[in-house]
Structures are given as C-alpha cells and as structure tokens.
Homo-oligomer: A and B are copies of this chain.
C-alpha cells in the first residue's frame, strides 16, 4: 500500500486522504466502545450539532455538516430508532421536520466529554510529534481550493506548460503600434470595427493606463503576439473590466489568451478589485469556454457600448 504512495507521489493524494479518513473513522468506532458511548461514527456530526443547538431542521443539519439532506434524513431516522433523537413537524411550516436530542441523547453529551478531551489531546500530541499540523494543513488547502478549484489549478498549469516560451510583460509605449494592430486584426477577423473601437485603441494610454488600469503584452521570442487590458470601471457595479483581448492567429492553440487572462486576474486582485467584468460574443466559443474555465459567471445581458457584445460575465476575485 505504501508502495503506491511512494512510487506515485502526490498524484495519489486523493486515495491517501480517503484511506487515512477511513482509518480514523475505524478508530472512532473503537473509541466509542471503550468510552461506553453508544453511538455510531456516522451519527456523530448530527449528534454534535444537536448538542450545541437543540431543534434543528433536517436541511439546516445537512448544511452545517456538509452532507446531503437525504443522508441526514436517513441518519436521523436511525438515531431516533436508537432513542437518541426525536422529530416533530414544525408548527409554522408544514414542510419542515425538526430534530432534537432526547433526554437519553442529552445525557450522552456528558459521557462523551472526556472522549472529546482525550481526542483533542491526542491530536495535539500527534501534531507535536510530526511537527506538522494536519488540521491546519487541511484548512489551508480547503481555503485555497475555495478560491480556485483543483481542476482550475491543474488547467492553469496545463496552459502555463503549453505556453512555454511566451513572456507576459507590462505595456510600454514601444508596443503602441502592436497593441493597435493586434486588436484590429482580432476584431476584423470576426466583426467590423466600431467607432468606439477606434477611440479606445487610439486613446488606450490615457483611457486605460491614465485611469488606474493596466495593459499586458504577450511576447514570443521578443515579438508581441497578444495583448489584453484591465480597465478600472467607474459608475459600474463592478470594479474592473477585462477588455482589449487580442491574440494573433498564427500562434493559436498555445494558450496565450489564457496566460494573458491569468495575468489580468492577478493584477486586478493586486489592485484590490473584488469583481472583474467582461463583455464578449457567444460566436467566440473557445474564448467563452476559456472564461468559464477561469471562473467567470454569465450575467443577464444588459446594454453595452459595443454592438457586437451579446454576453456579459463576471468573476469574483
């Protein structure tokens, strides 16, 4: 067993987590018997919630412990059979079932107390012995995975790998022409240039950089092959807009748009933004898919200064 872990390394982290969790659940089972607590491991989360807070709804419990309401409903039934909890229909809402500990259940709270203490002590001792707190490592991972999912993180790495050789650099005036060309080329490929485009491209430095925004260029062997801008929004419910994305067709498939987007997202966070907005057109399927992968959520469409825009998205930073 150890074999797989040592040979496969962190790739097998999922399996490893599950096996350790099973080991601990097994230990919990043994411990309940030694402490004379007549409870099954899977009852514990519900028992614990009820011990803190009498009369919980089934749905509330599910929410608190992170199980489906189905699992709670079934477990509550088992616990009721064992005489630990009782249920009643809510007086104010005919749909809800309320659950609470019985007297027998309440009594267990005191029986289980020393067990809690000993478990906590054993975990502290394990942390001290191993020199790493598994508990805080878990918390840190969960936190990080909440910000950006594991899938997303692996995808980011994939795009990073595929775009090896591409450098993302800050805009300087020497890229003025490249910035205009890349954008024009991009828009011309799918749509027609609008009045607003010309204004924005010519006045990019003042419109975007002059107002607290940012522009990135993607370079391949020193040559500008893509660009993207972060515009600070005013009189908008959102903080920043991802705009002026343009990548030259000859470097297609090297995830340059993805790299640029990652840079823009990071910059928006760095500048203290909480929301990043964008407009696009559903005709650009790969781009929309990319935005979704990056975590952008579709909004109900409202008006836009660009005629070609027919989809609006936003990302919580």
Task: State the A residues within 8 Å of B (CB).
Answer: 1, 3-5, 7-25, 27-28, 30-31, 34-35, 41, 45, 48-49, 52, 63-66, 114-123, 125-126, 129-145, 149-151, 153-158, 160-161
Contact = CB atoms under 8 A, between A and B. Distances in A.
B52 A7 contact: yes
B14 A122 contact: no
A114 B11 contact: no
A150 to B, nearest CB: 4
A97 B28 CA distance: 36
Given A17-B17, A157-B125, A5 B149 contact: no
Given A19-B66, A114-B158, A140-B130, A135 B7 contact: no
A259 to B, nearest CB: 14
A8 to B, nearest CB: 5
A114 B11 CA distance: 12
Given A8-B48, A31-B154, A118 B66 contact: no
Contacts of A153: 122, 125-126
Contacts of A144: 126, 129-130
Integer count of this chain's copies in the complex:
2
27 contacts: A1-B65, A3-B63, A3-B64, A4-B65, A4-B66, A8-B48, A10-B120, A10-B123, A10-B135, A13-B24, A13-B123, A14-B28, A15-B45, A15-B66, A17-B17, A18-B21, A18-B25, A20-B142, A27-B149, A27-B154, A34-B151, A114-B158, A118-B154, A118-B155, A129-B144, A130-B143, A133-B137
A294 to B, nearest CB: 14
B65 A158 contact: no
A27 to B, nearest CB: 4
Nearest to A159: B118
Given A18-B18, A19-B66, A157 B13 contact: no
Contact of A118 (B126, B134, B142, B161): B161
A25 B14 contact: yes
A149 B31 CA distance: 12
A13 B135 contact: yes
Nearest to A7: B52
